[in-house]
Amino acid sequence: MSEWQELTGQVEKLLPGGEALVRSEGSVFLVANAIPGDTVVIQPMDKRRGSQRAALQKILITSPVRIKAACPIADMCGGCSLQYLEPAQHAEVKSEWVLDIFRDFLESSSIWLPAIGQRQSYRRRVRWFIDEDAAGVFLGFKERASHKVIRQPYCMVVSGLLNQLRETIESAIAQDYFHQAKSVQALELSDGIHVIVEYEKTPVSLSVPCSVLNSLPVQWWFKTSSGTIPMNRPVATLHDRIALDDNEIDIRIGPDDFVQGQAEGNRQMICQVLEWGKQAKVVVDLFSGVGNLSLPFAKALGVRVIGAELNQASVQAANANAKRLGLNAKYQQVNLFETFDAEPFAGADLLILDPPRRGAKKICQMMGTLLPKKIVMINCDPASGGRDAATLYSLGYKLHTLRALDLFPYAGHVEAMGLWIR
């Protein structure tokens, strides 16, 4: 088959990430912007991440479930891969992704909780790239599988405040603020906004276009490979305020700390972990970050928390949060991707496992030594979660409850939450 030959194929289903599976002439391709039921003309491309991909050239027969995308750059931007599917169907599709991956571990007594759609939940974290076209300098998003930056004045999935901030930053760049900056990150928290301007090397001079937006303080930072440095002083300390029924907790978040990109979904995740572990007295939190999941546990239930995280800055932040809040929680730096000393973390009533996309292969292999009574495993990449689930299952853990969470409407992203009991 020639690399440049166009093929006709049928779209069978959407896969995790939002690409469609298309069969043509005995081969399988992953294609963006296609919907099940479409008959399409595709052009094969090189393999990427081990899979054969193809570009959508034409739709010969339109699927009955295809809709017009709400975003004018949906066919180019890689952020919202489900734009051509009715929003009411997003949660159903994402639930099927989770169910397919974990189906082999479900038993007749297992509880299945499908995702619930959250169409009006907006993202509070964004990264724009700086570029210039005939109309001038702009902040935009990278085109799918490309380094090209595309212009879009308004993003429908980020918060209104961040869209307003983009206008402020774009105007400042046009006035030669942030000369030679490459990109800008922003994180909207409960009491302010972190803005991180990224450079290849330390800028010669710095100034900020505003220190307040809609009555919220804006803390500006510049970031290079050497670190993240405040641009305006005094430095504002900002927090993620999490309401948990009768309790409320403020977790201090710095510019480099990880926080879930959707506030309400984060709250739902925390509430689910609390519900599954409400009888626990000792909680171990691996891949703890700044304590997003375990500090609310210590606050709401008074439990003892022992946490571990690879990133030293996150460990320091988690311990500082615990001390400020007067909670019985201690965190330490551990390389959780390699074999580590399991003794401090062994025998917990509940082990919270929230790894990055690569999963928690080494930790799952060590469960015979860690021996927690219950495990809550959260996976932002269900595929690596399925691999780790197979290890837990082989060690005698049973999947008591499986839940899918749709934290990012329109995106091809889903969170899988599992309660495992031995």
Separation CA 34–CA 260 (nearest Å): 28
Candidate list 80, 155, 364, 380, residue with the active-site label: 380
Torsions phi, psi of 107, nearest 5?
Answer: -110, 175
pLDDT tens digits in sequence order for the chain, 422 residues long: 445 589 999 999 999 999 999 999 889 999 999 999 999 999 998 787 768 999 999 999 999 999 999 999 999 997 899 999 999 899 999 999 999 999 999 999 999 999 998 666 789 999 999 999 999 999 999 998 899 999 988 999 999 999 999 999 999 999 989 989 999 999 999 999 999 999 999 888 888 999 999 999 999 999 999 999 999 999 999 999 998 877 899 999 999 999 999 999 999 999 999 999 999 999 999 999 999 999 999 999 999 999 999 999 999 999 999 999 999 999 999 999 999 999 999 999 999 999 999 999 999 999 999 999 999 999 999 899 999 999 999 999 999 999 999 998 899 999 999 999 99
Domains of the chain are 7-66 (2.40.50.140), 88-119+262-421 (3.40.50.150), 125-238 (2.40.50.1070)
> Is 80 a residue of the active site?
no
Instruction: State the pLDDT at residue 1.
Output: 45
Separation CA 338–CA 361 (nearest Å): 9
Separation CA 370–CA 156 (nearest Å): 44
Any alpha helices (H) in 175-301, and if so which ranges?
263-276, 294-301
pTM: 0.93
Element at 317 (helix H, strand E): helix 312-325
